[in-house]
Amino acid sequence: MIEFRGVSKTYPGSARPVVKDLSFEVLDGEICVLVGPSGCGKTTSMRMINRLIEPSSGEILIDGEPNTAMSGTKLRRKIGYAIQQIGLFPHRSIADNIATVPQLLDWDKARIKGRVDELLELVGLDPGVYRDRYPAELSGGQQQRVGVARALAADPPIMLMDEPFGAVDPINRSRLQDEFLRIQEEIRKTIVFVTHDIDEAIKMGDRIAILKEGGVLAQYDTPEEILTNPTSDFVTSFVGADRILKRLSLTRVSEMELEPANGSGEGLPTLSDRLTVRDALSALMGAGVGRGVVEGEGGRRLLTMEAIEGLTRGARA
Amino acid sequence: MPSPGEPAKAGDTLGLLQDLQPKLLDWGWIGENFGDEILPALIGHVYLSFVSVGIALVISLPTGVLVSRYRKAYPPVTFFTGILFSIPSLALFAFLVTVPGIGIGPTAVIIALVAYSLLVLIRNVVAGMDSVPEETKDAARGMGLTARQILFGVELPLALPVIVAGVRIATVTIIGIATIGAYIRGGGLGELIFLGISRNFPTRVIVGAVLATLLAVIADLLLLALERYLRPWARTRRA
């Protein structure tokens, strides 16, 4: 668990803080997304966790211990670090790049080699093909994958990721996000993930910390709560006018409580229960009817506009 | 007037004329004097150049690294080394021989050659350090490399090709200027050239000049090869 306790940061020569009295907790095994407009201090907040930046006041606890209990370099070797610009070492092979932290920790060669191959497989790169290449020989998306593999190398319980998929085109980004969520299912790291993109935050986050300018925490909640019940005008406008639709995209039709169709579905469009509610809604509206039949493991069930509205009930307009 | 030590057939009018207008290239003389005059001059030249570049590198590497960190020191350092670089070589040699404890000889030449190399070398060390991508250093720090590990494991290896490019320029420049060092008895190929001129014996001049040129070209090519060798990651195939 990572715990921010009244953390502030003011840079020397600047009157205004970039992070102001930040307090929140990141639970084990969760992805906590720090999101906000530029200048909201999200990257600064992240970099204070592994002490690339030292706070002006307050403290950060990791598993109950202040992160100042050990030297900065020792601390950083226990925390995975992946950034948007990736920062692969151009003069080292892919294998050597991934092996950076294990080498610092003096793992033996066989263990390092095994780990490198395992990680390349994990991020979907054939070790036989890519192990001995240099970063410049890889595409942007492949380099991002190597960056994530490198951050995971020593199996750190905590990962810091600063827009790790920011430097690739939207299609590749979406694929990398999906892959990473799949990997996270297996590895269950405690992750602090920085982005400026609210859609990425909603997709990746178990919990989202929305920061506003001056480094003030505007809201810290699950994506569902933030979309359904934004606590301030700032959050409402930051998540966007389509927040109800975004909320619907977080739920799959299979997760909804629906009545069995019982023969009343004659002539209605048929939908897969793997769709998100948002896509199902779009399909219903496209068909020009307010109802449809969902097919899936739960049998044939009836999806109505009322059921969809029920999901977002309680949301302020 | 036949010069002492040069082939001359006294009393022979034709021979006298030939001495006054000597052959451009006397291969016989080259063969006879290769071992005891030409080769030592060549070795002396290589010695002067390499020792000078070596000393200059030992000074420039730490200076360049420090200056790339403490940026305020960069303008004064380039100003000072720039002044050194702009002093005419003969004037610098002349000045150095008057300094007590230096005097005439190779030491003065080496000091001058080192002084000439500093500007180029320090500039290239700084340029090399600057060429290291910020994100690479950030990633290195974020993964827990110490400042020392970042300098020797990341920054210097990445800066090395640019530094070697500076060594190339410095070496070629120095091989040229070193010939003038013979004027203050520094040794090297300049001795052949000056002696050849004063004795009106073109073969010496040509041998000295051609060898100095060849030396510069070969050094340049070798260092270019080194520069390429140090950048294996740039020889890429796209995946």
Nearest beta carbon to residue B138 from set A73, A87, A142: A87
* Residue A258 identity: L
Confidence of residue B18 (pLDDT cuts 50, 70, 90): low
Q: Evaluate whether residue B78 is within a structural domain.
A: yes
Q: Evaluate whether residue B115 is within a structural domain.
A: yes
- Other C-beta atoms within 10 Å of B121: how many? 26
A chain contacts of residue B237, beta-carbon cutoff 8 Å = 137
Q: Do B233 and A91 touch (CB under 8 A)?
A: yes
Structural domains in chain B (count): 1
Confidence of residue B230 (pLDDT cuts 50, 70, 90): confident
Q: Report the CATH number that the domain containing residue B62 is assigned in CATH.
A: 1.10.3720.10
Q: Do A100 and B145 touch (CB under 8 A)?
A: yes
Tokens of B166: 């500076």
Instruction: List, for residues B48-106, the tens digit of each pLDDT value.
Output: 999 999 999 999 999 999 999 999 999 999 999 999 999 998 899 989 999 988 888 89
Complex-level ipTM beyond the 0.95 threshold:
no
What average pLDDT does the segment A170-190 reach? Answer: 92
CA distance A274 to chain B (A): 35
Q: What is the pLDDT of residue B86?
A: 93
Integer Cα distance of B39 and B56 in angstroms: 25
Integer Cα distance of A280 and B222 in angstroms: 69
Which residue would you say has higher pLDDT here, B21 or B80? B80
Q: What is the pLDDT of residue A310?
A: 82
Q: Do A135 and B157 touch (CB under 8 A)?
A: no
What average pLDDT does the segment A172-180 reach? Answer: 90
CA distance B137 to chain A (A): 7
Q: Is B237 on the interface with A (CB under 8 A)?
A: yes
Interface-testing mutation among A100, A105, A158, with chain B (most B C-beta atoms within 10 A) = A100
Burial A246-276 (b: 16+ CB within 10 A, else e): bbbbbbbbeebebeebeeebeebbebebebb
Q: CATH 3.90.1280.20 residue ranges in chain A? A: 248-311
Q: Do B143 and A134 touch (CB under 8 A)?
A: no
What average pLDDT does the segment A44-53 reach? Answer: 97
Tokens of B177: 């200027």
Does residue B238 surpass a pLDDT of 60? Answer: no
Instruction: List, for residues B93-145, the tens digit of each pLDDT value.
Output: 989 999 988 888 899 999 999 999 999 999 999 999 999 999 999 999 999 99
Does residue B200 surpass a pLDDT of 80? Answer: yes
Nearest beta carbon to residue A81 from set B136, B142, B231: B142
Confidence of residue B13 (pLDDT cuts 50, 70, 90): low
Confidence of residue B236 (pLDDT cuts 50, 70, 90): low
CA distance B129 to chain A (A): 14
Residue A139: φ, ψ to 5°: -75, 170
Instruction: List, for residues A235-264, the tens digit of each pLDDT value.
Output: 999 998 888 888 888 888 888 888 887 777
Q: What is the pLDDT of residue B233?
A: 78
Q: Over chain B, what is the mean pLDDT?
A: 89
Q: Which domain holds residue B118?
A: 37-229
Q: Over chain A, what is the mean pLDDT?
A: 91
Distances (CA, A) of A24 to A38, A219, A220: 20, 10, 8
Does residue A295 surpass a pLDDT of 70? Answer: yes
Q: What is the pLDDT of residue A149?
A: 95
Q: Is B239 on the interface with A (CB under 8 A)?
A: yes
Q: Do A83 and B142 touch (CB under 8 A)?
A: yes
Residue B139: φ, ψ to 5°: -60, -40
CA distance A11 to chain B (A): 19
CA distance B68 to chain A (A): 20
Confidence of residue B1 (pLDDT cuts 50, 70, 90): very low
Q: Is B144 on the interface with A (CB under 8 A)?
A: yes
What share of chain A has pLDDT > 70, as a percent?
98
What average pLDDT does the segment B186-200 reach? Answer: 92
What average pLDDT does the segment A151-163 reach? Answer: 96
Own/partner pairs, B227-235, CB within 8 angstroms, 24+ separation: B227/B161, B227/B164, B227/B165, B227/B168, B230/B157, B230/B160, B230/B161, B230/B164, B231/A91, B231/B161, B232/A91, B232/A134, B233/A90, B233/A91, B233/A92, B233/A134, B233/A135, B233/A136, B234/A136
Q: Evaluate whether residue B7 is within a structural domain.
A: no
- What is the CATH T-level fold of the domain A248-311, as seen in this structure? CBS domain Like (3.90.1280)
Report chain A's terminal Cα–Cα distance, integer Å. 35
Q: Which of residues 119-138 of B touch A (CB under 8 A)?
A: 133-138
Q: Which chain B residue has the Cα nearest residue A141?
A: B239
Q: Are strands A270-272 and A291-296 parallel, antiparallel or unpaired?
A: parallel
Q: Evaluate whether residue B74 is within a structural domain.
A: yes
Q: CATH 3.40.50.300 residue ranges in chain A? A: 2-241
Helical spans, DSSP H, in B70-144: 74-86, 89-98, 106-130, 134-142
Class of domain A2-241: alpha beta
Interface A:B, Cβ pairs < 8 A: 84
A chain contacts of residue B159, beta-carbon cutoff 8 Å = none
